[in-house]
Amino acid sequence: MLEDRYGNPLTTASDTARNAYVDGVDKFLSGNAGSEEAFGDAINADPNLAAGYVGIARYRMLMGDRAAAGTAIQNARNATGISEREASHVEAFGKLVDGDAPGGYKAIRAHVLQYPRDVMIAQTCTSVFGLIGFSGREGREAEQLAYTTYIEPNYGDDWWFLGQHAFAQAEVGQLGLARENIERALEAYPRNGHNAHVNAHIFYEEGRNDAGFNYLREWRGGYDNNAYLYCHITWHVALWTAATGDTETAWHLLDEGCSPASSKGPALNILTDTVSFLHRAQLAGINVPTERWELISNFAAEKFPHAGLAFADIHSALAHAMADNAEAFAALTKKAEGPAAEIVAPTWAGFKSFAEGNWAAAERELGPAMAGHERLGGSNAQRDLLEFTIAEAIRKQGRVAEADRLISMRRPRQTELAAT
């Protein structure tokens, strides 16, 4: 029986199907363009290849297209004669597609316990946008590192694993270990979008913003704009570019890579990266035309009209508040949902007060999120948005030294536009 690159048997006799599937997995894990097409080639070579359909479902879920993911997972369920591992692979991911995130997480952890090198299932629990990252649980950063540490013996020097382990280490402050692992990962596969991204985060957490900017700006030069990480990597470069004072180029980067009108990336990245850039720019004294806020507010209202995913919820609310889109803000904030609801609601209120110039209220309302804002999702660096907002609210009340002290204590190496 043929196997994938991680030694998992595949129920197919077609070398073409196997090779295309391996290509799809590698492109997906590396954030490079063409994974969906490669999975499609695998299925064309063997229409009974269940894993190929799951690969398409995984990509479509990432892009926010649940309907297409549902069609793909149903095709996977229709596959015949597959192994016990493949059936479990389909079942576990199928629960996520069906909207059962808790059941999916439980099934995935059970699957990984038995088949730890089934990488397309194992990877769903990695990174800050994964099942643990968006779980809303207290201590989820430690849980993330515990997970990657648990699977480490099964992956060794694998370039995908080293990058994800490095990210988990960086998020809990283990920067020396993170630097060592990301350099090993990039040596093995330099054109890996995920690991280039992780490297940027580590540079930032180390306070080496110039080195990070130079590295990522050069790396991005050869990156396909059809890749699903292109938007997010462009956002990193745009922030660092703006921090140099070159706002014209920064705006060009944002419009080319992250705008709802042009970006080919996931809707969640388009939303959060655009909102974050606009708000950070405004905090840094850069003029942000109202039209830009209106564009991303309308996009948020279309793609994320209802609450449920905390990281999207807070960015959508900020967009609506800054655009003065009262109708969309009210529709979104009727009731906070999800495991982090108790800190989402005051964050909504704080952003609204900030947009209205009610600095004291913004400070008071954003306060509850400060102690546990990892529950909102995203990286430490992405959530600097909250730190800088409450600091600016304090600064606007004339307590400049206090605002500066807050940032120096919580994020001592960072400035508003350097934050990635």
DSSP assignment of 249-286: HHHHHHHHHT-TTT--S-HHHHHHHHHHHHHHHHHTT-
In a domain, 5, yes or no: no
Name the percent of the chain in helix, strand, coil, to the closest 5.
70, 0, 30
pLDDT of residue 40: 99
The pLDDT profile of the chain, 420 residues, written as one tens digit per residue, is: 899 999 999 999 999 999 999 999 999 999 999 999 999 999 999 999 999 999 999 999 999 999 999 999 999 999 999 999 999 999 999 999 999 999 999 999 999 999 999 999 999 999 999 999 999 999 999 999 999 999 999 999 999 999 999 999 999 999 999 999 999 999 999 999 999 999 999 999 999 999 999 999 999 999 999 999 999 999 999 999 999 999 999 999 999 999 999 999 999 999 999 999 999 999 999 999 999 999 999 999 999 999 999 999 999 999 999 999 999 999 999 999 999 999 999 999 999 999 999 999 999 999 988 989 999 999 999 999 999 999 999 999 999 999 999 988 877 766 544 443
Which of these three, 94, 125, 156, is where a domain ends?
125
pLDDT of residue 1: 83
Beta bridge partners of residue 3, listed in sequence order: 9
Which of these three, 92, 125, 158, is where a domain ends?
125
Q: Are 332 and 305 in contact (CB under 8 A)?
A: yes
In a domain, 416, yes or no: no
Are residues 151 and 101 both part of a single domain? no
Report the half-sphere exposure of 103 (CA within 13 A, side-chain side). 10
* Phi/psi at 75 (5° precision): -65, -40
In a domain, 277, yes or no: yes
Q: Which residues contact 293 (CB under 8 A, 6 or more apart)?
A: 278, 319, 322, 323
Distances from the Cα of 48 to the Cα of 16, 44, 149, 153, 212, angstroms: 13, 9, 34, 32, 45
pLDDT of residue 409: 86
Are residues 153 and 284 both part of a single domain? no
| pTM to 2 decimal places | 0.96
Angstrom distance (rounded) from CA 60 to CA 249: 32
In a domain, 8, yes or no: no
Angstrom distance (rounded) from CA 177 to CA 166: 7
State the total domains in the chain: 3
Are residues 148 and 263 both part of a single domain? no
Are residues 372 and 300 both part of a single domain? yes
In a domain, 4, yes or no: no
pLDDT of residue 414: 64
Are residues 248 and 357 both part of a single domain? yes
Task: For residue 144, give the CATH number of its domain.
Answer: 1.25.40
In a domain, 7, yes or no: no
Query: Which structural domain, as residue segments, surrounds residue 192?
Result: 134-206
Are residues 286 and 332 both part of a single domain? yes
Are residues 161 and 294 both part of a single domain? no
Are residues 263 and 174 both part of a single domain? no
In a domain, 6, yes or no: no
Are residues 267 and 390 both part of a single domain? yes
Match 């396909």 to its residue by tokens.
224
Are residues 266 and 392 both part of a single domain? yes
pLDDT of residue 307: 94
